[in-house]
């Protein structure tokens, strides 16, 4: 079977876009493939952007990074905004339009295979849905990794992109918000709290402080993380602190005591115990192993 070159352009690629960066991997995939990436890319829609199809030969997931629009999937409409992902594929009628005032920047990935079919059917996108994502930055990062590995001539681009697509589908399943939550103020409160922790983790000593900064209480903060994330807010805060600590310990001859003080721990013992709870190693073992 002759494989298409990475520079062939299939007939279903839209021309109503600017700043398009696309990659083309296998435009003639085997029928028995497990998961094969056909093509993908990043594109900014023009004001007149409109895609309308009665069917599509591959599975496709699109992710909106900027702007706004609307998608109709088998006649049901969904608003598109930053952090929204949607799916269409074989047998799904779809129509996508872009807001003229807020032009969309979106990513897409077209793929096929038996595993792809299984993950789509078991996941939240199902038979043609749009979902809001609790961890849109992580999904965006996966799409950027697909861009990086799909473009250019990389020896194992096909295999790496297939693995990244599988990871993407699992991440979408974890990050998709239930329909009842998509327009609830709780999501905004969660994002504000998460962002506050990411920007102020060095100064935050107690979860109560972070919760108060975004005008919620500690108990509600815990419920938000339970609803929208895979760990508690305290665990998330400790992960941020310990990630910073790990980097500081590897920057020359920083003492454990100095790093503990920087992170506002009362003493090196409490810091070491927190570090080991996150990484499974004491700070001293971590430095020795990393440098060894």
Tens-digit pLDDT profile for residues 138-149: 999 999 999 999
Q: Say if residue 55 is in the same domain as residue 158.
A: yes
pLDDT digits (tens, 9 = 90+) for 72-96: 999 888 989 999 999 999 999 999 9
Q: What number of helices (H) and strands (E) belong to the chain?
A: 10, 10
Count of structural domains within the chain: 2
Residues 30 and 98 in one domain: yes
Please identify, among 130, 154, 181, the residue that sits at the C-terminal boundary of a domain: 181
Q: Which residues pair with 40 in a beta bridge?
A: 23, 109
Same domain, 46 and 174: yes
Q: Where are the alpha helices (DSSP H) in 129-184?
A: 136-150, 157-175
Contact predicate 171/139, CB 8 Å? yes
- How far apart CA 173 and CA 85 sit, in angstroms, is 11
Q: Which of 181, 197, 212 is the last residue of a domain?
A: 181
Last residue of one domain, picked from the residues 162, 181, 200: 181
Whole-angstrom distance, CA of residue 230 vs CA of residue 200: 21
Which tens digits make up the pLDDT trace of 197-206?
A: 999 999 998 9
Is the residue at 217 inside a domain? Answer: yes
Asked whether the predicted pLDDT for residue 103 surpasses 70, the reply is yes
Task: Give the H/E segment covering residue 242.
Answer: helix 233-249
Residue 197 has φ and ψ, to the nearest 5°, of -65, -45
**Residue 3: inside a domain, yes or no?**
no
Are both 249 and 198 inside the same structural domain? yes
Residue 11 confidence (pLDDT) above 60? no
């Amino acid at each position: 079977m002759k494989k298409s070159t990475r520079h062939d352009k299939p007939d279903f690629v839209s021309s109503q876009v600017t700043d398009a960066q696309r990659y083309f991997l296998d435009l003639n995939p085997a029928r028995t493939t497990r998961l094969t990436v056909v093509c993908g890319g990043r594109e900014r829609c023009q004001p007149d952007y409109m895609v309308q199809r009665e069917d599509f030969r591959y599975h496709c997931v699109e992710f909106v990074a900027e702007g706004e629009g609307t998608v109709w999937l088998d006649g049901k409409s969904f608003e598109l905004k930053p952090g929204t992902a949607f799916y269409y594929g074989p047998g799904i009628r779809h129509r996508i339009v872009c807001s003229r005032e807020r032009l969309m920047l979106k990513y897409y990935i077209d793929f096929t295979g038996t595993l792809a079919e299984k993950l789509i059917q078991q996941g939240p996108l199902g038979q043609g849905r749009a979902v809001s994502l609790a961890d849109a930055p992580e999904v965006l990062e996966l799409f950027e990794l697909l861009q990086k590995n799909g473009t250019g001539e990389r020896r194992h681009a096909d295999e790496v992109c297939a693995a990244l697509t599988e990871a993407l589908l699992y991440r979408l399943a974890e990050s998709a918000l239930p329909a009842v939550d998509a327009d609830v103020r709780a999501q905004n409160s969660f994002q504000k709290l998460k962002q506050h922790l990411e920007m102020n983790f060095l100064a935050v000593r107690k979860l109560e402080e972070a919760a108060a900064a975004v005008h919620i209480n500690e108990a509600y903060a815990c419920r938000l993380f339970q609803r929208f994330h895979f760990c508690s807010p305290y665990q998330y805060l400790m992960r941020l602190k310990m990630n910073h600590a790990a980097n500081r310990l590897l920057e020359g001859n920083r003492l454990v005591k100095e790093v503990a003080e920087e992170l506002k721990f009362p003493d090196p013992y409490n810091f070491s115990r927190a570090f080991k709870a996150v990484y499974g190693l004491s700070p001293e073992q971590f430095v020795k192993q990393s440098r060894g």
